Amino acid sequence: MSGLKKYGILTSLLAFSSITTTHASSEVYANFPITLKGYNGDATTSESYGGQMARHMLHNGLKKAASSGNLAKMEMYFNGARSVPILDPKSSSKFPVKQKLVEELSGGKTLTKKTYKGKVVGWPGNMTGAEVIEFMMKKAASVPKGVDSLTGYNYPQLISKFAMGAVFYNQACTNYLGAKKLSPNSKPNDAPYKKGAKYTGKEHVWDEAFGYWGAAAHTLTLSAKESYEVAKKKNLAAADYNKDGIVDAGTEMTYAHAYYASGFDKGGKTNYLETVTRAFVDGRQTITSAKGAKIGWNGRSNLKKNASIICSNWEKVIAEAVFKYAGSVYKDLDKLNTIMEANGDTKKAFATYAKHWGEAKGFAMALEAGATDRSAVSAKLTSLLGYGPWLPNLSQVTDIAKDGSYVKDEASSLAAYQLHMLKIQKLMVDEFKVAARNNDMLGSMDDLAAKLGGSGYAEND
């Protein structure tokens, strides 16, 4: 055999082997090889975040349950149980979903054990995150569809938006991506996460944080609009990455803050979803490239850099949501005022206002649960939003009595409360530099200044 032929066969074999070997695509959070030294199981890939996806199912179920007013059902999703049905995403002929039960993703999971353990400033009663959600659940069970028309509290929205921050954002950014877990000796990369695991300590720590983010594994192959449609169960083709005709709720769906990021990004002004997801993929590749050895100095720096990108952008997504819903509340109050002046029926307009207020409040409280100290911002947000929404009888919830009932006091005027919403939008711009700015009630001073031509250079007239 001539040398040329040998060379040709060798290069062909190398090319073929590089195609068939399992390796991770830089665009998909999947197919990361086993790097754990000494592993002798059957698994061929090391990523695993089923527990986090199970919690996304519990969160979605809790929101639905809160609307039903059934406390036992709410407890089931918050505290976990056996054979808990997935309420969202529910399988349909247009959007078939592989799993029916939460435990098909991971068994024995709860939300309560993973909820923010600090005291929540934005809610009266000096409660921890879990206590706030428990309190809200009980209140939701006492009013029709979880909405209290006397206080303006929409509990499904309050619970859902706060829980997303108090569980997912909190766990990812204060626990898994925190300095402790990223240090070489905590959950080391040269040892299994736990006995018998197929993944190393660092691999799983990173995977768990990714799971909480809520992005589909193939997010980087989709546009923001497609990810948004996947979350809304309106684009089966985009969701079904492996083309098996059915959507895997654990790897092919968009949830929680990743969904909100896609919503903001599709406006074209921001790129949160891609930025965060790419940082997760990049960090995971760094861990994989250590090949089961301890993460070195450069690797650790890379992980810390990516963790910082992830958490700062994640926080911005929450701040964008506060900004958006503060704008909605402003508009709702305008409509409510018009109806009140015309002595019309305010029931529908008030319900919309209460829903948006609940969303604004839930996200505002979620900002407390991150790794960065936001106590000053939280205090301002609490002062501007109040403990409860402004009510047409000029009252507002100001506290919780010992028996658990709400204490109300005189509220400011509607106009003054509207001004608070504008101040919240400005606060989000100043503190978090939010850029999507949906429902921007103030307009963009920067954009206008640019259109006017800026100050320019010296020209005489």
Partner 1 sequence: MFDVFLDFWSGLLSEATNPQKRVFIGYLASALFIAFLWLFFVEKLKIKDATSVIFSKKIWFSKSSKADFKLLFLNRIILSAGSVAVVSQITISTFLYECFSSQDFVQPLLFYSTPAGVVASLFTICFFLLDDFSRFFVHRLMHKVPLLWSFHQVHHSAETMTPFTIFRTHPVEGIIFLVRTSIVQGVVISLFIYLFGNKVDLITIFGASVGVVLFHSLGSNLRHSHIKIRYPKFFERIFISPGQHQIHHSVEQQHYDKNFGVALAIWDLMFGSLAFSEKKEHRFGLNTKFGEKQNLLHLFFYPFKSASQTFKLTFKFRGRF
Q: Which residues bind partner 1 (CB under 8 A)?
A: 330, 334, 415, 418-419, 422-423, 426, 440-443, 445-446, 448-449, 451-461
Neighbour-count burial of 414, counting CB atoms closer than 10 A to its CB (0-12 exposed, 13-18 middle, 19+ buried) = middle
Q: State CA 42 to chain mean position distance.
A: 33
Q: Which is nearer to partner 1, 65 or 429 (CB)?
A: 429
Task: Identify the three-state secondary structure at position 72.
Answer: helix
d(CA 147, CA 152): 7
Q: Closest approach of Cβ 433 to partner 1, in Å?
A: 13
Q: Which is nearer to partner 1, 127 or 414 (CB)?
A: 414
Could you tell me the two tokens for 449? 């200044």
Whether a cis peptide bond, with omega within 30° of 0, leads into 89 is yes
Widest pairwise Cα distance in the chain: 97
Q: Which is nearer to partner 1, 119 or 335 (CB)?
A: 335
Q: Tell me how crowded residue 203 is: count the other CB atoms within 10 A of its CB.
A: 27
Q: Which is nearer to partner 1, 245 or 456 (CB)?
A: 456
Q: Which is nearer to partner 1, 409 or 447 (CB)?
A: 447
| C-beta separation of 99 from 87 below 8 A | no
Residue 388: phi and psi, rounded to 5, are -140, 165
Q: Closest approach of Cβ 344 to partner 1, in Å?
A: 17
Q: Which is nearer to partner 1, 403 or 446 (CB)?
A: 446
Q: Which is nearer to partner 1, 376 or 458 (CB)?
A: 458
Residue type, 40: N
Q: Closest approach of Cβ 139 to partner 1, in Å?
A: 33
269-292 as b/e: b if 16+ CB within 10 A: ebbbbbbbbbbbbbbbebbbebeb
Q: Which is nearer to partner 1, 145 or 426 (CB)?
A: 426
Q: Closest approach of Cβ 439 to partner 1, in Å?
A: 8
Q: Which is nearer to partner 1, 197 or 441 (CB)?
A: 441
Q: Which is nearer to partner 1, 236 or 419 (CB)?
A: 419
| C-beta separation of 356 from 333 below 8 A | no
Q: Closest approach of Cβ 171 to partner 1, in Å?
A: 36
Contacts made by residues 253-256, CB under 8 angstroms, sequence distance 24+:
253/89, 253/216, 254/214, 254/215, 254/216, 254/219, 254/227, 254/228, 254/230, 255/53, 255/56, 255/59, 255/60, 255/214, 255/231, 256/56, 256/59, 256/164, 256/168, 256/212, 256/213, 256/214
Q: Closest approach of Cβ 312 to partner 1, in Å?
A: 23
Q: Which is nearer to partner 1, 401 or 450 (CB)?
A: 450
| C-beta separation of 366 from 164 below 8 A | yes
Could you tell me the two tokens for 88? 């969202």
Q: Closest approach of Cβ 6 to partner 1, in Å?
A: 56
CA distances from 187 to 35, 153, 210, 279 (A): 15, 42, 16, 20
Q: Of 220, 222, 257, which Cα lies nearest the Cα of 239?
A: 222
Q: Closest approach of Cβ 354 to partner 1, in Å?
A: 21
Q: Closest approach of Cβ 66 to partner 1, in Å?
A: 33
- DSSP per residue over 301-349, as a string? HHHHHHHHHHHHHHHHHHHHHHHHHHHHHHHHHHHHHHHHHTT---HHH
Q: Closest approach of Cβ 321 to partner 1, in Å?
A: 18
Q: Closest approach of Cβ 358 to partner 1, in Å?
A: 23
